[in-house]
Structure 1
Amino acid sequence: MTTPRTGAEELGDPELSGTQVAEPGAVTIVVPTFNESGNIRELLRRITESVPARLPCEVLFVDDSTDDTPDVIRGAAQDCPFPVDVLHRDTPVGGLGGAVVEGIRKAGSDWIVVMDADLQHPPALVPELVAAGEGAGADLVVASRYIRGGSRAGLAGGYRIAVSRGATWLTKALFPRRLRGISDPMSGFFAIRRSVVTADELKPLGYKILLELAVRCRPERVAEVPFVFQDRFAGESKSTAREGMRFLGHLVGLRTALPMARMIAFGLIGLTGFVPNLLGLHLLTGAGMHYLPAEILANQFGVAWNFLLIEVLLFRDRRRHRHWADRTGRFALLANADLLLRIPLIALFVARLGMAVLPATALALLTTFVVRFAATEALVYLPRRRGAPRTAQTDAPVGT
């Protein structure tokens, strides 16, 4: 990427930031795009007007578009006083969040500012984000809609407002320590020091990259500046119900990154499997089947349900290590072996340890659960030791 130009000694227009601080080495503005050709020229025009000439600046578009957005970027770049580059991805792995990670890998500046291309994030705030970070000695500066002076005015309709607030509440409830000091973890507009980001640790899924950075990179000092969420300048929003489901899956993946948390989630998923199991048993016995073969068959309904939830929520990022048929067979084998192991264990606890049937059953359930979790993780979802891993599954492109 083109080396950003050098600047003078101080950053910050007092009218913009109200403070003057030592200027950082440079700032890279990373803009992920998906079919945003109608916004590019206006975005670059506003960045040119907003960023002081003495602030070393470069703009990097990471593009997943299927339209002429890359060509529009190259054309508009010719009129800019700072370097502008575009990285087009033919395979948009990780969606918009993956695009941001690619931009972070390419950036060589002290500060990285991430913003959308649709002008709902005002470019005029870029200098203030960097100035606030330098002034406070912060590693991360978040543009927040939920502190005094901020507003979510550009969110269209009560539904999107409710979804945004609900997602904010949920993420802060799940990560109270890691999101301390961040009032708007759903913001897509922020500045972060390049030195605190380890791109290889990031596993983005969809568009909420700030949450990913805050949880996995753990910046020590966080600052916030208020911003008013603007109306989209051109084009259509890429926010869909499908993206909402990807976001929920991402939350589960982040929350279950530690083995103990994964085991708890595994147990909770297992509990939900009783519903299809009991429903299947009711239907089969109601049709006249004997309860023993009916229970064996009904157990498969619960196994299938648990497998689907575990695939989508718990081990999504490990599915590429084995073919789906291989994973399905191994999971089913382990789940049904659980039944065969549980009965001898109960008999052993009762006969050898003198336990009553009820506590013996509970202990057997706990024992087989721990063994099943460890076996599932080790035999179904850990990478193969020999041979090249299978090609990673790709995500559909998403945009800003």
Structure 2
Amino acid sequence: MSHESTVPGERDDPVVRAAEVPEPGAVTIVVPTFNESANIRELLHRITESVPARLPCEVVFVDDSTDDTPDVIFRAAQDCPFPVTVLHRDEPAGGLGGAVVEGIRAAGSDWIVVMDGDLQHPPCLVPELVGTGERAGAQLVVASRYMKGGSRAGLAGGYRIAVSRAATWLTKSLFPRSLRGISDPMSGFFAVRRSAVAAEVLKPLGYKILLELAVRGRPRTVTEVPFVFQDRFAGESKSTATEGMRFLRHLAGLRTASPLARMVAFGLIGASGFVPNLVGLWALTRLGVHYVPAEILANQLGVAWNFLLLEHLLFRERRRHRRWWDRAGRFALLANADLVLRIPLIALLVREFGVGALPATALALVMTFLLRFVGTEALVYLPRRSRGAAGRGAPGADEPKPAGSGSRTARRTV
């Protein structure tokens, strides 16, 4: 749900209306902000100095701030020669990536340039990003720190450099095809053709929206330009350990988007459940509990472990279809039914089909694994329902909402 408010002094002149029907090559600069009031005036000044008059331009700030950043933007934009829009979100769904998706939806130009509001991404590169895209016929142009002429100089300290390098290596290893031709998938500075972006297919989580665009959007032609990552103009970095965990969860969600990859991940998560199961069994038997009830109780530890990993790594985007207690109960029933079903299945294979005990056990494990995977997908994490059936599948308070849904967005244009 969104609402639009008109601020006093808002201009209704041809400059503003021109942004609604962009000329060829026009650019919308999308800037997600969170408490960046000290950087706004300088950022708009540098954009004004950098973007030539022949390149029609608008700037869209998508703001999740808790300080006076929206008011600072509005005041600083009064003297800008291009329209400036502020979309302030009451609820920052999807984090920085969700903010970028909101900006993409609001963009009215042929090209969209995404950049940070802290001046670590130099505005002087905006015309080059768009010009390179036009000359190359590219759908996506990435500003890269890791190609010749680029530099990560603005990364503060060896720790951040190491984290950035590790994240780059990990993403390129996980998505070699989607990221072919992109040397800096962690870049937050890029230009994309509006025609190449389907905002409804993006499911951002955290701050690495370029990865989301490249993997889900699959642009046909990608090119790069080098850039030197600058020092922050003012304020402090918003990178935290929490953002790092969100990034890892996002990677897991992207990598397991296909059914085959999801089944492999399901099996790996299931195998990891043996660790808490065995630890629990050891602890209970040490306490004197008989091995039969100890095995039953220890199995529940493995079930709980698997459920938590599935919730946060594999089926995060499907949690909205049922309440958490309903999902947990259904998963526990399926996981325990697996034990009950496996022994009769082994006996059937041995007695009726003459299969040896060892291969029968292996075959039963495979069969029950497939049944458990299909059952978990179909009965625990139901696919998205149509609007008419949404009543029972409404998201609970514990479940994530898609970026841009259910949040109120106030729009102000200068």
TM-score normalised over the length of structure 2: 0.90
Aligned counterparts, 1:6-85, within 5 A? 24-85=24-85
Residues 43-77 of structure 1: per-residue CA shift (max 9 Å, x gap): 00000000001110000000111110111111111
Q: Contact 1:6 / 1:56 at 8 angstroms: preserved in 2?
A: no
Matched, 1:393 2:400: yes
| 1:10-33, Cα deviation, whole Å (9 max, x unpaired) | xxxxxxxxxxxxx83310000001
| 1:395 CA drift (Å) | 9.2
SS in 2 for 1:78: helix
Q: Decide whether the 8 Å contact of 1:327 with 1:381 is kept in 2.
A: yes
Corresponding residue for residue 88 of structure 1: 88
1:202-228 deviation per Cα after TM superposition (whole angstroms, max 9, x unaligned): 000000000000001100111100000
In structure 2, the residue matched to 1:14 is none
Once residues 363 and 402 of structure 2 are traced to their aligned partners in structure 1, the CA distance between those partners, rounded to angstroms, is 42
AA in 2 matched with 1:256: T
Question: Following TM superposition, by how much is the alpha carbon of 1:100 offset from its aligned partner in structure 2, in angstroms?
Answer: 0.3
- Residues 340 and 176 (structure 1), Cα distance of their counterparts in 2 relative to 1, 3 Å cut: same
Q: Which aligned pairs between 1:36-185 and structure 2 lie closer than 5 A?
A: 36-185=36-185
Secondary structure of the structure 2 residue equivalent to 1:160: helix
For residues 299-338 of structure 1, what are the structure 2 equivalents within 5 Å? 299-338=299-338
Structure 2 CA distance for partners of 1:111 and 1:62, relative to 1, 3 Å: same
Q: Name stretches of at least 5 consecutive residues in structure 2 with no aligned partner.
A: 5-15, 404-414
Q: Counterpart of 2:224 in 1: which secondary structure?
A: strand
- In structure 2, what is the equivalent of residue 15 of structure 1? none
Contact 2:281 2:298 in 1 (8 A): yes
Give me the whole-angstrom Cα distance separating, in 2, the residues matched to 1:53 and 1:137: 22
| Deviation of 1:4 (Å) | 4.2
Task: Indicate whether 1:263 and 2:267 are aligned.
Answer: no
C-alpha distance in structure 2 between counterparts of 1:346 and 1:86, whole Å: 64
Are 1:356 and 2:356 matched, yes or no? yes
Choose between structure 1 and 2 for higher RCO, CA contacts under 8 A separated by at least 6 residues.
Answer: 2
Q: Provide the secondary structure at the position in 1 that maps to 2:79.
A: coil
Name the SS for the 2:298 alignment partner.
Answer: helix
8 Å contact 1:252–1:314 — kept in the other structure?
yes
- Kindly state the Cα deviation for residue 390 of structure 1 after the two structures are TM-superposed: 2.0
Give the letter for the 1:374 counterpart. V
Aligned to 1:231: 231
The secondary structure found in structure 2 opposite 1:116 is coil
The one-letter amino acid paired with 1:177 is R
Matched-pair contact (CA < 8 Å) for 1:35–1:66? yes
User: CA shift at 1:354, angstroms?
Assistant: 0.9
When residues 394 and 35 of structure 1 are mapped into structure 2, their CA distance, relative to the original with a 3 A threshold, is farther
* Secondary structure, aligned partner of 2:103: helix
Q: Offset of 1:297 from its aligned partner?
A: 0.5
The amino acid across from 1:281 in the alignment is: L
CA contact (8 A) 1:40 1:76 kept: yes
Aligned-partner residue type, residue 290 of structure 1: H
Task: Name the aligned partner's letter for residue 393 of structure 1.
Answer: P
The 1-side partners of 2:205 and 2:19 are apart by 33
After the TM superposition, which of the residue ranges 348-357 and 194-203 deviates more from structure 2? 348-357
Please state if 1:199 is matched with 2:203.
no
Segments ≥4 residues shifted beyond 6 Å: none
SS of the counterpart of 1:25? coil
CA distance in 1, matches of 2:18, 2:240: 36
**Aligned equivalents of 2:260, 2:131: Cα separation in 1:** 40
Distance 2:219 2:355 in 1: 51
AA partner of residue 206 (structure 1):
G
Distance 1:112 1:362 in 2: 53
- CA spacing shift, 1:175–1:381, aligned 2, 3 Å: same
Name the structure 1 match of 2:216: 216
Looking at structure 1, the residues matched to 385 and 367 of structure 2 have their Cα atoms a distance apart, in angstroms, of 27
Distance in 2 (CA, whole Å) between partners of 1:200 and 1:395 is 10
What is the CA distance between 1:348 and its match in structure 2? 0.7
CA distance in 2: counterparts of 1:203 and 1:371, whole angstroms: 28
Q: Residue 188 of structure 1 contacts residue 209 of structure 1 at CA under 8 Å; is this kept in 2? A: yes
Secondary structure of the 1:117 match is coil
Residue type of the alignment partner of 1:220: R
Structure 2 CA distance for partners of 1:272 and 1:145, relative to 1, 3 Å: same
Q: Which position in structure 2 is the counterpart of 1:273?
A: 273
Distance 1:275 1:24 in 2: 59
Tell me if the contact between 1:4 and 1:58 (Cα under 8 Å) persists in the aligned partners: no
Give TM-score scaled by structure 1 length.
0.93
Shift of 1:290: 1.4
Question: Sequence identity, in percent?
Answer: 78
Distance 1:173 1:48, change over 3 A: same
1:394: Cα distance to partner?
5.0
Contact kept, 8 Å, 1:51 with 1:127, in 2: the verdict is: yes
